[in-house]
Chains A and B, each alone.
Chain A
Amino acid sequence: MISTIFAFINAAIIQSIPLLFGATGEIITEKSGNLNLGIPGIMYMGGISGIIGGYIYEHSTASPNAALCIIIPLLSSIVGSLLLALIYSFLTVTLRVNQNVTGLALTTFGIGIGNFFGGSLLSFFGETGSISLIKTGQCFKASLPFANKLGLFGKTFLSFGFLTYLAIIIALVTSYFLNRTRAGLSLRSVGENPATADAAGINVTKYKYLSTLIGGAIAGLGGLYFVMDYTGGAWTNNGFGDRGWLAIAIVIFAIWRPTTAIFSSFLFGGLYILCIYIPGLSSSAKELINMLPYVVTILVLVIISMRKKRENQPPASLGLSYFREER
C-alpha cells in the first residue's frame, strides 16, 4: 500500500513537470497582458526542436558526448520556442493583431510543425521506423547517483532528471522576480494598465516582448522534458496530447502565482494518472476523472470572479493590445 502511494506520488511528479513548465511560461506571458493561447503549439515546437537537435547530433558522431547530448537539444529547443514566441509577439505587440486569433493560429502551426517533423524527420535522412534517441534520453534521465540508495524516499523524490528540478527552480525564481524585484513590478504594471505604465516611463513594448519570449522558451522546455525525459527520446505524433491546454488551466487554478503553480501542477499531474491507481475502475469512470481538472479550473475561475479579491484577479489588460494613441 505504502509503496503504491509512493509510486503514485512519483508518477504524479513526472506528469506535473511539463505542466509546470507550461504554466510558469504562461504566467510570465500573461503578466504582461498577453494571453498567449499559442502555448500548446510552442510546447510541441520545444519538443520537436529538441528532438531534431538531438537527432542530428547523435547521428553525426559515433560516440556522443553526454554533455553535448544535453546542451544541443536544450539550445535547439529554446531556439525553436523563441521563434514561435517571436511570431506571436511581433503580431500582437508590434502589429497589434487580436491575441486570441494569433494564439490559436500559433497552436495549429506549432502542432503542425511538431507532427510534420516528428513524422518525416527520419525519411529526410533516408531512414525508416520511429524516432528514438536512446543515448540523449538517458542523459536527460540521469539522476543523482546516490538517489536509489536512499530507499523509498530517494526513489520517490530524488530519482528525476535535472529538468524536473529546473522546473521547480524556474517557478520559484519567477515568483521572486514578479513579487520582489523592480522589473517584476514594472512587468505587472504593464499587464494591469499599459497606459499608466507607459506614462510612468516603462517601455511597454520591451516588457511585452521579453516576457512573451522568455515565457515561450520556458514553456518549450516542458515539451523538451516530455520527449526527452518522459518518453526517453521518442516522438509519437500527438503524443503530448492536451497538456498545453491543461497548463493554461493551471495558470487560472494557481491564480497567476508561480509558487501555487508548483502544487497545482502536482495536483493536476496526479489527476491525470489517478485513474490508473484506483483499482476496479470502469473505463467510463476514468473518462469522468479525466474531466475533473477542467471542471475544477472552471470552478476556480468562477469563484475568483465572484469574490472579487483584487490580488486574485487576472491581469486587467489580459488579451488587449496596447496602442499609445488610443484613448
Chain B
Amino acid sequence: MAVNEKHIKEPLFHITKRTDIPKLTAWGIRLIAVLAALIVSALVIVTITSYNPIEVYIKMFEGSFGSERKFFILLQNTAMLLCVSLAVTPAFKMKFWNLGAEGQVLVGGLSSAACMFYAKDSLPSWLLIIIMLVTSILSGVIWGVLPAVFKAIWRTNESLFTLMMNYVAMQLVSFFIMVWVPNGSSVMGVLNQRSECGWLPTIFGQKYALNIIIVAVLTVVMFVYLHFSKQGYEISVVGESENTARYVGINVKKVIIRTMVISGAICGLTGFLLVSGTNHTVSKELAGGMGFTAIMVSWLAKFEPSMMIFTSMFIVFLQKGAGEIATAFRLNESVSDILTGIIIFFIIGSEFFINYKINMRSKHKEAE
C-alpha cells in the first residue's frame, strides 16, 4: 500500500464548497467581475468598431442620465423590470423555475387591453381601472398556476411548461390583435386616446410616477413577505429541501401552488401597469423579453428584493446606454444585447468564486 500511495498524484487544486463568505467579500468579487466585464466589452468595442472605448462609455452614461426625461424613462423601465423580477423571485426561492413570466405579463396586459377595447368610455375611468386590474391579475394567475398545479401533482417539468406557455400567450395576443384590428395592419393603436379612459392618472406632473410608486411599495411588501412571514419561510424551506419541508409538516403542494399564484398575480399586475400606465396598447412585444431578463436580475441579486433594485437598474442602464451608443456611433442596436450578454456571463461566472473555494496543492507535500 505504501508504495502505491507514492504514485497517487494529488491534483493541482481541488474545489470545496464554502458557505461562510463575508458579504463584503462577496460583493467585492462581483464588483471585480463587473470591472473585468467592462474591460472585455471595451476590447470587443475596439476590435469591431475602433472607437475609443472611454468615449463610448461616456455616451452610454448619457443614455440614462443625459436629461431629466431620459432619467425618468430609466426609472420607469427599471420599475417594470423590477416588478417582473419581484414576481419570479418567490418561485425561484422555492426552486420552481418560472420561465413563463413573459407570457404571464402578456396575458395580464392583454386582459387590460381587452377591457379598454370593449368598455371604450362607457364606464367611469376609476371603475374601468379597477376592472382592468382585477382581470389582469386573474389572467396572470391562471397562466402561472397552471404549470404549478401540474408540477405539484404530477411533477411535470415546470421550466419547459412555463417556457411553452410564453408562446401560447404571444399567439393569443396576435390572435386578438387580428380580431380587433381587422384591416390587417396587425398593429394595435393607442386605446381610448381621446377619453383617456382606463389610463392611470398622471401625478406629480410625471406620467410614470404612479407606476414607480406602486412598484416601490411592492418591493417593500415582497421584502417583508419573504423575510418576516410564515409563508416566506415555508418557501425557503421548500427551496432548500422538499423532504425536509415534508418532514416538518409543510404541505409542499400547497406551497408550490400558492407561490405561483403570487408570482402569476404580480406578473399580471405588471401587464396591467404596462398597458394602463405606460403604453395604452398591447403588442406581442409588450413584455419585450423582460420575463427572461427578470430571471437574470433576480438571480444576480441572490433573490433579495432590496438588491434587485440595483441589479434591475443596472441591466436597464446597460440596455439604454447601449441603445445610445448605437445611435451615436451609428452601430446596430443589437450591440446592447452583446454587451449585456458579456457582463452577465462575467457576473454569473463570478458566483463560482463566491460559492466555492479553490484549494491549491500544498507545497510542502510535494517536497516530501
Contacts and interface: CB of A to CB of B under 8 A. Distances in A.
A42 B344 CA distance: 17
B174 interface: yes
Contact of B356 (A96, A110, A116, A291): A96
Interface residues of B, number: 53
Given A97-B352, A112-B335, A301-B156, A291 B167 contact: yes
A288 B167 CA distance: 11
Contacts of B348: 91, 97-98, 101-102, 105
Size category of the A interface is 35 or more
Interface string B314-341: 0000000000000000011111111011
A301 B164 contact: yes
Nearest to B335: A116
Interface in A235-249: 237, 242, 245, 248-249
Contacts of B150: 302, 305
Contact of A109 (B155, B299, B345): B345
Contacts of B164: 249, 252, 294, 297-298, 301
A95 interface: yes
B171 A288 contact: yes
B155 A305 contact: yes
A102 B17 CA distance: 20
Interface string B190-228: 000000000000000000000000000000000000000
A1 interface: no
A108 B161 contact: no
Nearest to B171: A291
Contact of A306 (B154, B163, B172, B356): B154
Interface centre among A95, A237, A308 (most CB of B within 10 A): A95
A118 B332 CA distance: 9
B147 to A, nearest CB: 9
Contacts of B331: 116, 120
B31 interface: no
B168 A294 contact: yes
B157 interface: yes
A98 B99 CA distance: 13
B155 A108 contact: no
A318 interface: yes
Interface in B92-151: 97, 99, 150
B252 interface: no
Interface in A181-235: none
Contacts of B292: 104, 107-108
A47 interface: no
- Prevailing SS type, chain A contact patch: helix
B342 interface: yes
Contacts of A119: 332-334
B332 A294 contact: no
B1 to A, nearest CB: 21
Interface in B283-329: 289, 292-293, 295-296, 299
Contact of B178 (A102, A245, A287, A319): A287
A100 B333 CA distance: 25
B179 interface: yes
A317 interface: no
A287 B338 CA distance: 31
A35 interface: yes
A142 interface: no
Nearest to A90: B349
Contact of A101 (B299, B332, B356): B299
Nearest to A94: B352
B159 interface: yes
A326 B48 CA distance: 43
A115 interface: yes
A279 B356 CA distance: 61
A290 interface: yes
A195 to B, nearest CB: 15
Contact of A100 (B99, B338, B341, B352): B99
A97 B349 contact: yes
Given A100-B295, A105-B296, A284-B179, A91 B345 contact: yes
A291 B175 contact: yes
Contacts of B341: 105-106, 108-110, 112
A252 B299 contact: no
A273 interface: no
Top 9 nearest A-B pairs (CB, nearest first) are A112-B337, A109-B341, A284-B178, A119-B332, A291-B171, A95-B352, A115-B334, A305-B156, A116-B334
Given A96-B355, A302-B150, A306-B154, 15 more contacts: A96-B356, A97-B349, A104-B296, A107-B292, A108-B344, A109-B340, A109-B344, A111-B334, A112-B338, A113-B334, A116-B332, A116-B337, A237-B334, A249-B164, A284-B175
23 contacts: A87-B345, A91-B348, A96-B356, A100-B97, A100-B295, A101-B296, A102-B345, A104-B99, A104-B296, A105-B296, A105-B344, A105-B348, A108-B341, A109-B337, A120-B332, A245-B167, A288-B175, A295-B168, A298-B161, A298-B165, A301-B157, A301-B164, A305-B155
Interface of A: 35, 37, 87, 91, 94-98, 100-102, 104-116, 118-120, 124, 237, 242, 245, 248-249, 252, 282-284, 286-288, 290-291, 294-295, 297-298, 301-302, 305-306, 308, 314, 318-319, 323, 325-326
